[in-house]
Chain A
């Protein structure tokens, strides 16, 4: 039951109608919703990370992407880099003791010197190198050299020697030059070596006096391995990111901007002007991109061996804007008929006010989303054009051209393809997911929800 005390007046109350939540602007609200979307947030961090990788990377990892380290060609990441220092290479005339197949001197990654006595009944010899011992199938491995002359009984192997175990065989050739079943085999362990001159050349030591023959040294570090000419993959990926992201961000920024202006004008003016402008957009859509890319390359006077990035940029800006223009025009047409716009007009708002206050902010979300979806597309186009050789000029790398080079050795050294392909995929995915998140976050109708 109620007592009299229940009916006493309350004391003075503050903030009865106070605002319980902070006031949020459109962007603040969008940012809040974007933050709640973990996928989009992760993508945002990924994009920021990529930008860091591209811009700051080359400052931290100061390796020239064009320098060829021919001692470490197509090297997988994370292999042992210890090398022994040996004297400079001296040519060999086949001197050494005789006997069945044997190695003269040390077997090193510089050279393996083989010498043998002529096999009985042979008219010549063929030298093989294998990664397996010769089994009953008599598969000797890959033939390195052959001599139709029993006077030559030595061979120096310098072909792409890697540290590890090789099985050499010398096989007798018959009179007709066909191999017989008569062979000798030899197991050889090859040690990684380098010379003082090479070490100085590669900047591993300052001058030749620092070390001497017989010392051990660590070869250059390649965290992500090297490509088919011994170039550092990490440095190339960073340099390639510059090209890929430059095209990927600048080109869409420009053509989306143009599309917005074009589409907004057409939509806002409407009528015949709109018809004419949109038919022009249709005409541009019908132009073949690749052909124009080539035409621009010629029109720009881009000579052989020069980068095709600028014509690529121009071709994209000139040819890819209609999609955005159509989208924005549709939005504007729709907005023009909205009640609040008409109300605003009735209240005497001028065109400037209408466009700046009502039209553009309401298309902002669509435009931003288009932009984030166009970026991965542009990166793909760049990758594709560089893949078919229309893009950057060697030795400048781009992710697309690196994938093209890597695909030739996909089975033996997959890292040359995987890294650039992974970066392309990751970038494209990140921008797509970010775009998804932005679309949700920027949608004005979802304001204050979620």
Chain B
């Protein structure tokens, strides 16, 4: 009986095996057939990454711009789209130097600035770009009804802050059109770096008549904008694709060498962008560390650039927080090693271990700021860290430390960072860190509310000047989410904002750098970079630290280069 049962079982097993074989071979066949089908249709659907005859390229964007109303834009995707299709008073050349845009020349004085606009700058409806367009746009940014998140960047302009608070009418803004082609700006206080500001999207002009005709839908669609940049957007299928065509009305011929830029894909997934690149559907893509091995095997020319953003652990200075104690913060700084974090845990070759609030590429008077004012080298010293921790324990009168609340975002790098620091502080200081993973918006909301002890955060530059980092920890800056406040810092930031002598100004930044280190306002982690790969036929493509993330305005197609 048992014998029969086992024989029955054996035949059952054989049948099971047979079924498994059928299923697997069926799946393999299906995958193969689908592959053939995809290959036969794929090439006809799009023109591929590079179309040399049509002088067109196809690219992918990471995210869909929420809207393109540049008075209110805050995200890097919007900045990228606007940089290609718009132009401000000044703009950047292919080496990140400021060059004339709508303004032919300018002059910055202690009390204000004058911009002389070129006469051949045109909107895409043929009307000239005039000084009135700037006045209208800037007033609109400060109008409290616009609720522009970047209104603060214009505060050097006279009365801007008061208008934004609602204390003054928008007509009081210190900017006026002397004639159609002369723009006069009055400063609230001396602002020697004002030329770097006006390249930013918030300072772009708006044609008032067109704005009124959009009836509140300004920037919501491709035809709800007027363009004055090297490209103009002719099509915007939301969340799917865009089409930028060379703007025939653009005044210059120094940029815009490609006729059509198709934004064929909008996807955040690095893996799908890599697959699109492998299939020859997009012209460039970012590489994350786990892709580098494959990239090397495929013999790609891998490129790198700095992204401009500095990442750090921001500490909470609000009363009652452990991190308000200086010895405690000192212990946090000494007990970790960003070098180990970047090279061993993140393994990203384009990242640099951070030592300062200021990234290395910030310019000083004659060379790099950090060459003129070298930051304090980082000291990894666990014994010393434990001494500071013990001192903090006694100062706070604690038996032992309660768990620390570590806020982080839910990206893969956020996970690695928070778990790495959790283990490091547990090992070296015996502290328990509780990780609070939140989506980006929720993390910002919690940072604003002060609901953290330590937060993994980063700060990217808005303009090419040390002040974009330097004023971050002034007591009035809303992005100072740890609420660090010291009279010394505030005084230094005031100097950095208004000092006209560049040497003295950089001196102030040097002191800010030292103060941030001495007071342990942040624990620097890394300076972010990109490893990426570009189709060899596309030349002159740039990834930038300041301004747009990617820049195709100086790119051209080299037909000789092999695929």
The answer to whether B6 touches A38, judged by C-beta atoms less than 8 angstroms apart, is yes
Q: Which of A146, A306, A389 contacts B434 (CB 8 A)?
A: A306
The answer to whether A73 touches B5, judged by C-beta atoms less than 8 angstroms apart, is no
Contacts of A140 in B (CB 8 A): 301-302
Task: Say how far B438's CB is from chain A's closest CB, in angstroms.
Answer: 8
Task: Say how far B53's CB is from chain A's closest CB, in angstroms.
Answer: 25
Task: Give A304's nearest chain B residue, CB to CB.
Answer: B436
Given contacts A305-B403, A394-B435, contact A38 B299 (CB under 8 A): no
Give residues 344-375 of B contacting A (CB, 8 Å). 344-345, 347, 349-350
Contacts of B415 in A (CB 8 A): 394, 405
The answer to whether A66 touches B6, judged by C-beta atoms less than 8 angstroms apart, is no
Given contacts A131-B296, A143-B303, contact A159 B349 (CB under 8 A): yes
Q: Which of A66, A132, A143, A394 contacts B350 (CB 8 A)?
A: A143
Task: Say how far B525's CB is from chain A's closest CB, in angstroms.
Answer: 15
The answer to whether B406 touches A305, judged by C-beta atoms less than 8 angstroms apart, is yes
Q: Which of B2, B295, B437 contacts A142 (CB 8 A)?
A: B295
Task: Give A132's nearest chain B residue, CB to CB.
Answer: B296
* Cross-chain pairs A/B with CB under 8 angstroms, 15 sampled: A37-B9, A128-B302, A135-B299, A139-B299, A142-B296, A142-B349, A143-B304, A303-B434, A304-B405, A305-B403, A305-B434, A305-B436, A306-B434, A394-B419, A412-B290
The answer to whether B300 touches A139, judged by C-beta atoms less than 8 angstroms apart, is yes
Task: Say how far A138's CB is from chain B's closest CB, in angstroms.
Answer: 7
Q: Does B339 contact A (CB under 8 A)?
A: yes
Instruction: List 19 additional A-B contacts (Cβ < 8 Å) besides A143-B302, A228-B345, A411-B294.
Output: A37-B5, A39-B13, A66-B423, A132-B296, A138-B301, A140-B301, A141-B296, A143-B304, A158-B343, A159-B349, A160-B343, A177-B95, A305-B406, A305-B434, A389-B437, A394-B415, A409-B290, A411-B291, A413-B290
Number of cross-chain contacts by CB at 8 Å: 121
> Chain B at the A interface: mostly helix, strand, loop or mixed?
helix
Contacts of A389 in B (CB 8 A): 410, 437
Contacts of A135 in B (CB 8 A): 299
Task: Say how far B367's CB is from chain A's closest CB, in angstroms.
Answer: 9
The answer to whether A229 touches B435, judged by C-beta atoms less than 8 angstroms apart, is no
The answer to whether A160 touches B302, judged by C-beta atoms less than 8 angstroms apart, is no
Task: Say how far B102's CB is from chain A's closest CB, in angstroms.
Answer: 26
The answer to whether B416 touches A229, judged by C-beta atoms less than 8 angstroms apart, is yes
Q: Does B433 contact A (CB under 8 A)?
A: yes
Q: Does B293 contact A (CB under 8 A)?
A: yes
The answer to whether B296 touches A139, judged by C-beta atoms less than 8 angstroms apart, is yes
Contacts of B94 in A (CB 8 A): 176
Contact with A along B90-122 (1 / 0, CB 8 A): 000011000000000000000000000000000
Contact with B along A68-80 (1 / 0, CB 8 A): 1010010000000
Give residues 397-428 of B contacting A (CB, 8 Å). 403, 405-407, 410, 412, 415-416, 418-420, 422-423, 426-427
Q: Does A290 contact B (CB under 8 A)?
A: no
The answer to whether B416 touches A228, judged by C-beta atoms less than 8 angstroms apart, is yes
Given contacts A131-B293, A142-B292, A160-B347, contact A137 B419 (CB under 8 A): no
Q: Does A213 contact B (CB under 8 A)?
A: no
Q: Which of A129, A304, A450 contacts B5 (CB 8 A)?
A: A450
Cα of A143 to Cα of B296 in the assembled complex, Å: 11
The answer to whether B434 touches A159, judged by C-beta atoms less than 8 angstroms apart, is no
Contacts of B395 in A (CB 8 A): none
Q: Does A36 contact B (CB under 8 A)?
A: yes
Interface residues of A (CB under 8 A from B): 36-39, 66-68, 70, 73, 126, 128-132, 135, 137-144, 146, 158-160, 176-177, 228-230, 303-306, 389, 393-395, 405, 408-409, 411-413, 450
The answer to whether B290 touches A229, judged by C-beta atoms less than 8 angstroms apart, is no
The answer to whether B343 touches A143, judged by C-beta atoms less than 8 angstroms apart, is no
Contacts of A66 in B (CB 8 A): 423, 426
Contact with A along B435-447 (1 / 0, CB 8 A): 1111000000000
Contacts of B423 in A (CB 8 A): 66-68, 229, 395
The answer to whether B95 touches A304, judged by C-beta atoms less than 8 angstroms apart, is no
Given contacts A36-B2, A142-B531, A176-B95, contact A305 B433 (CB under 8 A): yes
Cα of A389 to Cα of B439 in the assembled complex, Å: 11
The answer to whether B436 touches A39, judged by C-beta atoms less than 8 angstroms apart, is no
Task: Give B304's nearest chain A residue, CB to CB.
Answer: A143
Q: Does B171 contact A (CB under 8 A)?
A: no
Contacts of A142 in B (CB 8 A): 292, 295-296, 302, 349, 531
Q: Does B340 contact A (CB under 8 A)?
A: yes
Most buried by B among A131, A143, A409: A143
Contacts of A411 in B (CB 8 A): 290-291, 294
Contacts of B5 in A (CB 8 A): 36-37, 450
Contacts of B416 in A (CB 8 A): 228-229
Contacts of A38 in B (CB 8 A): 6, 9
The answer to whether B347 touches A68, judged by C-beta atoms less than 8 angstroms apart, is no
Contacts of B343 in A (CB 8 A): 158-160
Task: Give B5's nearest chain A residue, CB to CB.
Answer: A36
Task: Give A135's nearest chain B residue, CB to CB.
Answer: B299
The answer to whether A139 touches B426, judged by C-beta atoms less than 8 angstroms apart, is no
Task: Say how far A403's CB is from chain B's closest CB, in angstroms.
Answer: 14
Task: Say how far A397's CB is from chain B's closest CB, in angstroms.
Answer: 11
Contacts of B12 in A (CB 8 A): 39
Given contacts A139-B299, A142-B531, A176-B95, contact A160 B344 (CB under 8 A): yes
Cα of A304 to Cα of B442 in the assembled complex, Å: 13
Cα of A393 to Cα of B340 in the assembled complex, Å: 24
Shortest beta-carbon contacts, A-B, top 8: A305-B434, A304-B436, A139-B299, A143-B304, A160-B347, A70-B344, A158-B343, A36-B5
Given contacts A142-B296, A159-B347, A394-B435, contact A229 B419 (CB under 8 A): yes
Task: Say how far B399's CB is from chain A's closest CB, in angstroms.
Answer: 21
Task: Give A159's nearest chain B residue, CB to CB.
Answer: B343
Q: Which of A36, A228, A304, A405 contacts B435 (CB 8 A)?
A: A304
Task: Say how far A143's CB is from chain B's closest CB, in angstroms.
Answer: 4
Task: Give B288's nearest chain A residue, CB to CB.
Answer: A408
Cα of A158 to Cα of B290 in the assembled complex, Å: 17
Task: Say how far B70's CB is from chain A's closest CB, in angstroms.
Answer: 29
Contact with A along B1-13 (1 / 0, CB 8 A): 0100110010011
Task: Say how far A146's CB is from chain B's closest CB, in angstroms.
Answer: 7
Contacts of A39 in B (CB 8 A): 9, 12-13
Contacts of A129 in B (CB 8 A): 349
Cα of A38 to Cα of B437 in the assembled complex, Å: 46
Task: Say how far B109's CB is from chain A's closest CB, in angstroms.
Answer: 33
Contacts of B407 in A (CB 8 A): 304
The answer to whether B340 touches A70, judged by C-beta atoms less than 8 angstroms apart, is yes
Task: Give A143's nearest chain B residue, CB to CB.
Answer: B304
Cα of A108 to Cα of B405 in the assembled complex, Å: 38
Q: Which of B2, B296, B435, B436 contacts A130 (CB 8 A)?
A: B296
The answer to whether A394 touches B295, judged by C-beta atoms less than 8 angstroms apart, is no
Contacts of A128 in B (CB 8 A): 302
Cα of A38 to Cα of B3 in the assembled complex, Å: 12
Task: Say how far A418's CB is from chain B's closest CB, in angstroms.
Answer: 15
Task: Say how far A159's CB is from chain B's closest CB, in angstroms.
Answer: 5
